[in-house]
Structure 1
């Protein structure tokens, strides 16, 4: 649903935002510039999540991830281990969704 949080990178963040979603890990500068985001370490969080750190991934509270296909293998492995499943991969972008419990 629009408004849901989505793990992503710069390649899809703007498009998700325009569609009404909440990009959590869009790596645009304004999201990790301390002067513009209240001092939060968004870049550190993004580095940890995209590297597959399961605690950091869970800390986002996201139920979805949209990333370039094959660009973040450690993230994709961790998402699978955390109950996400691949719901779309067209060779350009891969989309993961948390399995309902």
Structure 2
């Protein structure tokens, strides 16, 4: 994780030490700004029993700039476009580093 800001290193360590149930996120070995993410479909929802692969990218400006997130697994959802990009204001113009 050399070359990453201390804050991101700390967040990665916390994520790996205390994983969120149903979510697995691991940094790429070749580029620790990218993460492989796997999310289990929420219980009692149309997505229950499915797993979804996502790619997360933390830009150099993070946390001042929003992370880039996209589904690698095809998903039919009104907030996900055909390329897997998540269409939410908080991941675009309404991002604030207070969310982190």
Question: Which bin holds the TM-score, normalised by the shorter protein?
Answer: under 0.3
Larger radius of gyration: 2
Structure having the higher helix fraction is 1
TM-score normalized with structure 1 length: 0.25
TM-score normalized with structure 2 length: 0.25
